[in-house]
Amino acid sequence: LAEKLQSTLQKLKGKGKVSEKDVTEAMREVKMALLEADVNFKVVKDFINKVKERAVGAEVLESLTPGQQIIKIVNEELTALMGTTQSKINFSSKPPTILMLVGLQGAGKTTMGGKLANMFKKQGKRPLLVACDIYRPAAIKQLQIVGGQVDVPVFTLGDKENPVKIANEGIKHALDHGNDFVIIDTAGRLHIDDDLMGELQNIKSNVKPHEILLVVDAMTGQDAVNVAEHFNEKLGIDGVILTKLDGDTRGGAALSVRAVTGKPIKFVGLGEKLNENSIEVFHPDRMASRILGMGDVLSLIEKAQANFDAKKAMELEKKIKSQSFTFDDFLDQLQQVKSMGSISQLLEMIPGAGKQLKGMDVDEKELVHIQAIIQSMTKEERQNPSIINGSRRKRIAAGSGTNVQQVNRLLKQFEQTRKMMKQFADMDKMKKGGKFKL
């Protein structure tokens, strides 16, 4: 799909102008990419409309490469949807900061607890993990193992006490032992149910956590969105943690969760291990690229562009060296320039000429005339301009809607360019020759 998207966007390049139809076509691919990434349909629809609005119009018309412009807009809007800034943990000015992890069973709460503990310990905090899942068999043991792996203490009262009491005692323990960061690992259920919500509300109202973070499994896609909506309504959450992004999911859930709940994604989990590489602060821009499947479309486009330029530049270099640069090449370059940007870009593409010609002033309107003049030449004339005599000049001027002076000027300029190119080529030979002697 990334390839398809890319080819559509490539098609937009070199057109100079982007029509509404172009944008619509490109957005169809973007839409597919989003739906494939399991982004909520309504979110997709709103998003597409928003981008269309921005893409059709001045911004794109003025852009050098419309395809790139569109993909940039898509990326920017996606990023904006997920929050343009990174959301960090709100640390309490009065320790300990209390963080409560909630979510369905298997979402990755306990694992994330270990990852967070490890991460904040490395940042100089003294975390304490509190075991409030008294239902899942061996849940306490699991948290103890996790704590052991990252060398962070785990507070437990076994599975006979109620979770509210465990949480409260845990916080007392933290105060007594100088732990400035308490992570409460709560129970989950396979599905949302009122019992669970009741229990979590109870913990919340008693403990008053500074952060309630909902842990959702990115692989569950649309379900993650429903879960997030429900938890946010019933419990109120401060943010979301997206786990299992190491799987082959595109992470469309991220976009939808944010769009639906309005709550920021704060961290992402990547893998079952607990080390530093398995947790990341959420980066909206990276996720935007991932969702579009253009993990690397952006860089692919940039690369394609670079290859394109490099190939043309190489061809041009060859021609300069063999001094077979003709009006056809000139025209070809002109057209490229018009689709790609300014004439100075073209000049920079000419090997060795870049520096010397940089900043040279070129009247872009003049280019239209130049193009017309060249197009009025015969094939033979373009290949071999020396045959263009007086009567041919008159004919060319008439054919291109210009006058003979303009044709003369172009011919003279072309001759000068050729000479200059010959000089560069000679200079290049000299350089190479010099090296050879050494």
Residues that bind ligand GDP in the complex, under the rule CB under 6 A: 103, 105-111, 188, 215, 243-244, 246-247, 269-272
Q: Does 174 belong to an annotated binding site?
A: no
The interface partner of residue 114, options being Mg ion, ligand GDP, none and the CB cut-off 5 to 8 Å by kind, is none
Rounded CA-CA distance 152/125 in Å is 11
- CB of residue 34 vs ligand GDP: minimum separation in angstroms? 23
110 is a contact residue toward Mg ion (CB under 5 A): yes
Identity of the residue, 179 or 186, whose beta carbon is nearer to ligand GDP in the bound complex: 186
Q: Does 107 belong to an annotated binding site?
A: yes
Q: Does 243 belong to an annotated binding site?
A: yes
Identity of the residue, 209 or 293, whose beta carbon is nearer to Mg ion in the bound complex: 209
75 is a contact residue toward Mg ion (CB under 5 A): no
Q: Does 106 belong to an annotated binding site?
A: yes
- CB of residue 169 vs ligand GDP: minimum separation in angstroms? 21
Q: Does 104 belong to an annotated binding site?
A: yes
- CB of residue 246 vs ligand GDP: minimum separation in angstroms? 5
Binding region for Mg ion (CB under 5 A) out of 61-69, 106-114, 242-250, 340-348: 106-114
- CB of residue 131 vs ligand GDP: minimum separation in angstroms? 11
Q: Does 293 belong to an annotated binding site?
A: no
Q: Does 10 belong to an annotated binding site?
A: no
Q: According to the 3-state scheme, what is the secondary structure of the chain? A: CHHHHHHHHHHHCCCCCCCHHHHHHHHHHHHHHHHHCCCCHHHHHHHHHHHHHHHCCHHHHHCCCHHHHHHHHHHHHHHHHCCCCCCCCCCCCCCCEEEEEECCCCCCHHHHHHHHHHHHHHCCCCEEEEECCCCCCCHHHHHHHHHHHHCCCEECECECCCHHHHHHHHHHHHHHHCCCEEEEECCCCCCCCHHHHHHHHHHHHHHCCCEEEEEEEHHHCHHHHHHHHHHHHHCCCCEEEEECCCCCCCCHHHHHHHHHHCCCEEEEECCCCCCHHHEEECCHHHHHHHHCCCCCHHHHHHHHHHHHHHHHHHHHHHHHHHCCCCHHHHHHHHHHHHHHCCHHHHHHHCCCCHHHHCCCCCCHHHHHHHHHHHHCCCHHHHHCHHHCCHHHHHHHHHHHCCCHHHHHHHHHHHHHHHHHHHHHHHHHHHHHHHHHHC
Identity of the residue, 106 or 399, whose beta carbon is nearer to ligand GDP in the bound complex: 106
The interface partner of residue 103, options being Mg ion, ligand GDP, none and the CB cut-off 5 to 8 Å by kind, is ligand GDP
Identity of the residue, 147 or 385, whose beta carbon is nearer to ligand GDP in the bound complex: 147
The interface partner of residue 111, options being Mg ion, ligand GDP, none and the CB cut-off 5 to 8 Å by kind, is ligand GDP
186 is a contact residue toward Mg ion (CB under 5 A): no
How many residues lie near Mg ion (CB under 5 A)? Answer: 2
Identity of the residue, 110 or 326, whose beta carbon is nearer to ligand GDP in the bound complex: 110
Binding region for Mg ion (CB under 5 A) out of 109-117, 235-243, 264-272, 358-366: 109-117
- Using a 10 angstrom Cβ sphere, with 0-12 exposed, 13-18 middle and 19 or more buried, the burial of residue 244 is buried
The interface partner of residue 244, options being ligand GDP, Mg ion, none and the CB cut-off 5 to 8 Å by kind, is ligand GDP
Q: Does 67 belong to an annotated binding site?
A: no
Binding region for Mg ion (CB under 5 A) out of 102-110, 219-227, 255-263, 287-295: 102-110
Q: Which of 193, 183, 187 is nearest to 155 (CA)?
A: 183
The interface partner of residue 345, options being Mg ion, ligand GDP, none and the CB cut-off 5 to 8 Å by kind, is none
- CB of residue 57 vs ligand GDP: minimum separation in angstroms? 41
Rounded CA-CA distance 83/206 in Å is 31
Q: Does 105 belong to an annotated binding site?
A: yes
Contacts with Mg ion by CB under 5 A lie at: 109-110
Annotated binding residues for GTP, as ranges?
A: 103-110, 185-189, 243-246
